[in-house]
């Protein structure tokens, strides 16, 4: 058996189509254009690429995009003042601070992100939005796990009643993924660096989500035949070579469906960000 390859570009296109329809709906209903402000501090080359990509996607879908560029020596107070200004600006629906922050203010990352108005928090990281997700009434949800759920839906992969295993417990992927899968009636186990007999647990998974940031960590002997593998990892193991957390070449012959790296889950994140901008605009207009 060779697995069905879950190509990110196919599902990202569907997610973006939904977002574009949402933009048009808000324009017709309220006469406004949903908008996103991205703050980038310093000159990290990778961050600049990500911000350009977000800006370009906004333009494609009819979302107004504003990029706020701040110098490397920006203080915590200056960055918070900028966030406060955007919080008060009714023409801005979504606010995103591009990470990583420069070393001088990196220690204040949590305080800075928590300053964003929860209704404009399109990353879904604010404690208010995390709490809403945990209690089963999600508003703005972190983009990567939300994109994974959308992909499973678009691919026609059943979640209800399935045994799901997540490797990794980060606030950005592992924990929100747990709550999203539980809300869809999966039975979920979260594994991490202290989990005993990891391979025994992962072999029980109908849906296996790998999100621990270790290249090719999930090997063929850890996978149940016919399972669905969602590889969230992006690791650089050579200057121009990206690999996931799953040993793709060997696992694809055992799984029924698998996401590739590159070209898989990574493409869903920006697409879901666009949906969150639309959702944030609607929340603010209610």
Report the C-alpha gap between 26 and 53 in whole angstroms. 23
Annotation marks residue 98 as catalytic: yes
Report the C-alpha gap between 204 and 277 in whole angstroms. 37
DSSP state of 90: T
Question: Looking at 117, 120, 121, 123, which residue is catalytic?
Answer: 123
* 3-state helix vs strand vs coil in the chain, percent to 5: 45, 15, 40
Beta bridge partners of 257: 4, 228
Q: Cis peptide before 188, with omega less than 30 degrees from 0?
A: no
From residue 81, give the alpha-carbon distance in Å to each of 77, 112, 257, 280. Answer: 6, 10, 46, 21
| Angle at CA of residue 83, ends 77 and 39, nearest 5° | 100
- How many residues does the structure list for the chain? 286
Question: Looking at 16, 98, 175, 245, which residue is catalytic?
Answer: 98
| Angle at CA of residue 56, ends 50 and 61, nearest 5° | 125
Q: DSSP states of 223-275 as a string?
A: S-TT-EEEE---EEEETTEEE-SB-HHHHTTT-SEE--SSSSTHHHHHHHHHH
Residues taking part in catalysis: 54, 98, 123
């Amino acid at each position: 058996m060779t697995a069905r390859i879950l190509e990110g570009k196919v599902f990202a296109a569907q997610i973006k189509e939904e977002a574009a329809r949402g933009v048009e709906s808000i324009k017709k209903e309220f006469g406004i254009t949903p908008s996103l402000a991205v703050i980038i501090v310093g000159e990290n080359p990778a961050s600049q690429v990500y911000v350009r990509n977000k800006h370009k996607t906004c333009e494609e879908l009819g979302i107004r995009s504003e990029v706020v560029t701040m110098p490397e020596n920006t203080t915590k107070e200056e960055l918070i003042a900028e966030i406060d200004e955007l919080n008060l600006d009714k023409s801005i629906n979504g606010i995103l601070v591009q990470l990583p922050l420069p070393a001088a203010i990196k220690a204040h990352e949590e305080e800075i992100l928590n300053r964003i108005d929860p209704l404009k928090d399109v990353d879904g990281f604010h404690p208010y939005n995390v709490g809403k997700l945990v209690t089963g009434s999600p508003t703005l949800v972190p983009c990567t796990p939300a994109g994974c759920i959308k992909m499973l839906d678009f691919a026609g992969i059943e979640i209800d009643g399935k045994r799901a295993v997540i490797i990794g417990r980060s606030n950005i992927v592992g924990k929100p993924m747990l709550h999203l899968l539980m809300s869809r009636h999966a039975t979920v186990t979260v594994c991490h660096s202290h989990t005993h007999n990891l391979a025994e647990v992962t072999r029980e998974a109908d849906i296996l989500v790998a999100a621990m940031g270790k290249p090719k960590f999930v090997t063929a002997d850890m996978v149940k035949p016919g399972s669905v593998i969602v590889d969230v990892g992006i690791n650089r193991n050579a200057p121009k070579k990206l690999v996931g957390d799953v040993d793709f070449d060997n696992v694809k012959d055992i799984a029924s469906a698998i996401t590739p790296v590159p070209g898989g889950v990574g493409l869903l994140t920006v697409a879901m960000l666009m949906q969150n901008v639309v959702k944030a605009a609607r929340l603010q207009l209610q």
